[in-house]
Amino acid sequence: MPMVDAPLDVAISGAGPVGLMLATALAARGARVAVFEAGGPPDWSSELPDMRVSSLTPASRCMLQRLGVWDAIVERRVSPFEAIHAWDAAGAAVRFHAADVDEPALGYLVEHSLLQTVLDRALRQHQSGRVQRHYHCRIDDVLVDTDCCRLRMSDGATVRARLLVAADGARSALRQRMGIDVRSRSYGQQGLVAAVRPSVSHGRIARQRFMPGGPLALLPLQDDWCSIVWSLPEAEAQRLQTLDDDAFLAALDEASGEVLGSMRETGPRRLFPLYAQQADRYVGRRFALVGDAAHVIHPLAGQGVNLGLLDAAALAEVVGDALEEGVDPGSHARLRRYARWRRSDNQPVQWAMEGFHWLFSNADPARRLARNLGFMATDRLPMAKRLFVRFALTSGAHLPRLALGKR
Ligand SMILES: Cc1cc2nc3c(=O)[nH]c(=O)nc-3n(C[C@H](O)[C@H](O)[C@H](O)COP(=O)(O)OP(=O)(O)OC[C@H]3O[C@@H](n4cnc5c(N)ncnc54)[C@H](O)[C@@H]3O)c2cc1C
C-alpha cells in the first residue's frame, strides 16, 4: 500500500454498506478518504438472490439516488413493495399502502452484497483520485495525536488521518480498541434468513406474521421469490436450521398459515443472533462510530441498515461542512454535533423496537388485547396510520440534506 504524505481527511474501517456509503458521500464533498476492509471486495451475482436482503426506506433510496448509485441497483435487481400486511396469530391485522402517504413504494428490497457492489464500484470509478479502497487490510494499531490519528495497518503500512471512523459492524474491533463500551441485551432469539419460493404470487406486498416465539417476515423479491426473516427462540431456530428442505418448507407453511399457498423451494438458510446494542458514546478524540458499530436493533421493522445509512449521511454532512469552512474534520465540537444528532434519532427507534418485541413476542392475554386494540386503532384511523408510516419511511430521523435530495 502506498505511503501518503498529507494526512487523509477520513480513514474508515469496514466496507459494509454503511462504511462504503460514508466514503461515497465524503468523496462527493471532496474529502480525501480511504476505506480499509478485513474481507475481500463485494461479489454480488445475478443468479440466486443473496440470502441477506435489506428493506431500504424511501429516505435511503433518495440518498443513494443523490450519490448516483440507485440506477445501478435498479438495473440489476430491486424489489419495491407497495403495501405491508401485518397480523398476529389471533387474527388482528393492519394494512399500510403507499397511496396512504403518496409514495410510489413503502420500501425497496435490495440484496446486501448488491448494495456493497454498487457503492464499491462508485468509489473505484471516482474521478478525483482522492479515494482509496483497501481490501484484506485492517487497522492493527492507533495512536491519536493532537493533529491526526496515526494508524498501523496489517500489511505493515502507516497512514495518518484527521478523523478515524469505525464502520466495522456490531462486534467492532476498532470501537473496543478506542475504549468505547456497549450496552447489549440478547433477545434470546435467532433470525433465520433464506430466499424461498411460494406457490402464490406475493403481489409486491411485504407480509409479517407476529407469533409468540417471534415475527416471521415474508418480503417480496423478483420472480416471485420471497426473502424470509424469521425470529425464533434459539433452540427452535437451531432445530429448523438442521431440517431437510421438505421438512423446513412444511414448518414454514404452518408458520405462514399458507398466506402465499404452500412453499415450493428454498435457498440456503443462515442464522443470526438477535440482540439490541448501543455504544456508550458515538464519538471520541478524532474518532466516530457509524452503523452497527454504534447501534444494533431487532430486525422486525427492517430499520438497521437504514439507520446506519443515515449515520453515514449525517457524518458526511458534518465533516463536509467542516472541510468547506476550513475547520479540522476531527474537531471535537463537530463530532459532538454528529453524536447528539444521531443518538437522539436512533435511540427512539431502538425503544420502539423494544416495545414491539415486548408486545408481540408473547402469548400473555393482556398483551394480546393491547395488540388487538393497537392494530384496530392504527388500521381505522387514517391520521394515525399516516403518522406511523411517515415515521417508518424516514426511520424517525431529522433527515440529513442528502436524504432531502440536496448535497
Ligand atoms: C437477520 C437480519 C435481518 C436484517 N434485515 C434488515 C432489513 O431488512 N433492513 C435493514 O435495514 N436492516 C436489516 N438488518 C440489519 C443490517 O443487516 C445491519 O444493520 C447492516 O448490515 C449494518 O451495516 P454496517 O455496514 O454497519 O455493518 P456490516 O454490514 O456488519 O459491515 C461491517 C463490515 O466491516 C468489516 N469488518 C469487520 N471487522 C473489521 C476489521 N477489524 N477491520 C476492517 N473491516 C472489518 C466486515 O467484514 C464488514 O464488511 C438485518 C440484520 C439481521 C441480523
Residue nearest to atom 48 of ligand 1 (CA): 16
pLDDT for the residue 367? 76
Predicted confidence (pLDDT) at residue 156 exceeds the cutoff of 90: yes
pLDDT for the residue 375? 74
Q: Is the CB of 14 under 6 A from ligand 1?
A: yes
pLDDT for the residue 258? 96
How close is the Cα of 211 to the center of ligand 1, in Å?
26
Quote the mean pLDDT of the chain: 92
Instruction: Tell me which of 378 and 233 has the higher pLDDT.
Output: 233
As a whole number, mean pLDDT of residues 224-247 equals 96
Q: Is the CB of 189 under 6 A from ligand 1?
A: no
pLDDT for the residue 338? 98
pLDDT for the residue 407? 67
pLDDT for the residue 405? 82
Predicted confidence (pLDDT) at residue 250 exceeds the cutoff of 80: yes
CB distance 374 to 90 below 8 Å:
no
Each residue of 34-48: pLDDT tens digit?
999 999 999 998 887
Predicted confidence (pLDDT) at residue 406 exceeds the cutoff of 90: no
Percent of the chain clearing pLDDT 70 (strictly above): 99
How close is the Cα of 274 to the center of ligand 1, in Å?
13
Predicted confidence (pLDDT) at residue 314 exceeds the cutoff of 50: yes
Nearest ligand 1 atom to the CA of 167 is 26
How close is the Cα of 326 to the center of ligand 1, in Å?
33
pLDDT for the residue 325? 97
Predicted confidence (pLDDT) at residue 341 exceeds the cutoff of 50: yes
pLDDT for the residue 50? 80
Mutation probe of ligand 1 site: the residue of 20, 110, 292 with most atoms within 8 A of C-beta: 292
How close is the Cα of 183 to the center of ligand 1, in Å?
18
How close is the Cα of 40 to the center of ligand 1, in Å?
15
Nearest ligand 1 atom to the CA of 139 is 42
Each residue of 210-224: pLDDT tens digit?
988 899 999 999 889
pTM value > 0.85: yes
Predicted confidence (pLDDT) at residue 3 exceeds the cutoff of 70: no
Q: Is the CB of 18 under 6 A from ligand 1?
A: yes
Instruction: Tell me which of 407 and 213 has the higher pLDDT.
Output: 213
Locus of grid cell 428454498: 266
pLDDT for the residue 184? 96
Predicted confidence (pLDDT) at residue 1 exceeds the cutoff of 70: no
How close is the Cα of 87 to the center of ligand 1, in Å?
28
Predicted confidence (pLDDT) at residue 376 exceeds the cutoff of 80: no
In CATH, 8-183+275-396 is 3.50.50.60? yes
Each residue of 97-135: pLDDT tens digit?
998 888 899 999 999 999 999 999 999 998 778 999 999
Residue nearest to atom 29 of ligand 1 (CA): 16
pLDDT for the residue 373? 75
pLDDT-derived band at 383 (thresholds 50, 70, 90) equals confident
How close is the Cα of 271 to the center of ligand 1, in Å?
14
